[in-house]
Chains A and B, each alone.
Chain A
């Protein structure tokens, strides 16, 4: 049930990206092109998605535990730090260059476009690379801790 529910959520999310036009990089770039022939459609996508999620989350919070799991895993991080800012800048650079963010990029794999496959492969490398980089940053600190202890 848990896995089926997750599949359905992914499916509905995918339909939303498809119908809204977010899977088409040209449409996304037209939204980002506010100094050109601006297409505001994606502002509506985001606005409506936000309104639905805002009220739906209020219901979820009011219910307490989710239906198929023991507890709700609401994000707990609140830091507004250099990582958040620099990470968002890097993401914005890539998004603006190509017009694909992670969800639409994965979904667009279905087109079997070689360029989309290259994009998602590079995105996976970037994610794995970030994990390795974090581990490298964390390692000396841990060594220091054990040395002190």
Chain B
């Protein structure tokens, strides 16, 4: 699993960028997934509808790929469900507190050269790198 895959990385990255640009060009919205998902959960109104179809599209992608003969590999998750739940809680609470995640701050915000998003991205990247360093090389 640990292998360098520059070509698929570049193609995938280009598609992520393309989707973010299209969402702005067509709908005038920023492609921040944590905001879109949270908006679906907590706020109502008109905005809910496009958020719902965006998430539906996100889910349809691996289904279409599987139908075309490229099924998604089973995600390798930690065996402890307590750890998984703690991780999910941290990601959910943290991305709302910071008002953005890898897509909203990491791609859309950094592409706008927003200092706020650059700081957020550096902080969550550095924290995640530190967590992996501790869990894999110290503990």
Using CB atoms, name the residue of chain B closest to A72.
Answer: B28
Q: Tell me the chain A residues, 20-67 only, with Cβ under 8 Å from chain B.
A: 20-27, 29-30, 32-37, 39-42, 44-54, 56-57, 59-60, 63, 65-67
Query: Complex formed: what's the CA distance from A49 to B14 in Å?
Result: 5
Mark each residue of chain B from 97 to 139: 1 if its CB lies under 8 Å from any CB of chain A, else 0: 1110111011111111111100111011111111111011100
Residues of the A chain whose Cβ atoms lie less than 8 Å from the Cβ of B75? 23-25, 100, 108, 111, 113, 115-116
Q: Is the interface of B mostly helix, strand, loop or mixed?
A: helix
CB atoms of A56 and B97 under 8 A apart = no
CB distance from B57 to the nearest CB of A (A): 3
Mark each residue of chain A from 114 to 149: 1 if its CB lies under 8 Å from any CB of chain B, else 0: 111011111111111111000000000000000000
Choose among A96, A108, A128, A129 the residue that contacts B130 (Cβ–Cβ < 8 A).
A96
Residues of the A chain whose Cβ atoms lie less than 8 Å from the Cβ of B93? 87, 90, 126-127, 129-130
Given A23-B75, A53-B20, A60-B24, also A94-B15 (CB < 8 A):
no
Choose among A74, A79, A111 the residue that contacts B116 (Cβ–Cβ < 8 A).
A79
CB atoms of B17 and A2 under 8 A apart = no
* Cβ-based interface call for B87 (8 A): yes
Number of A-B contacts (CB under 8 A): 469
Query: Complex formed: what's the CA distance from A74 to B117 in Å?
Result: 13
How many residues of B are in contact with the other chain, CB < 8 A? Answer: 110
CB distance from A136 to the nearest CB of B (A): 14
Residues of the A chain whose Cβ atoms lie less than 8 Å from the Cβ of B22? 5, 8-9, 12, 56
Query: Complex formed: what's the CA distance from A125 to B41 in Å?
Result: 10
Choose among A69, A91, A111 the residue that contacts B27 (Cβ–Cβ < 8 A).
A69
Given A35-B133, A50-B111, A56-B20, also A20-B128 (CB < 8 A):
no
CB atoms of A102 and B37 under 8 A apart = yes
Top-3 shortest CB links A-B? A126-B92, A20-B12, A10-B57
**15 A-B contacts, Cβ less than 8 Å apart?**
A7-B57, A9-B54, A17-B12, A35-B137, A45-B10, A66-B27, A68-B28, A69-B29, A84-B98, A91-B95, A91-B97, A94-B89, A94-B91, A119-B88, A127-B92
Residues of A within 8 A of B (CB): 2-27, 29-30, 32-37, 39-42, 44-54, 56-57, 59-60, 63, 65-75, 77-80, 83-98, 100-103, 105-111, 113-116, 118-131
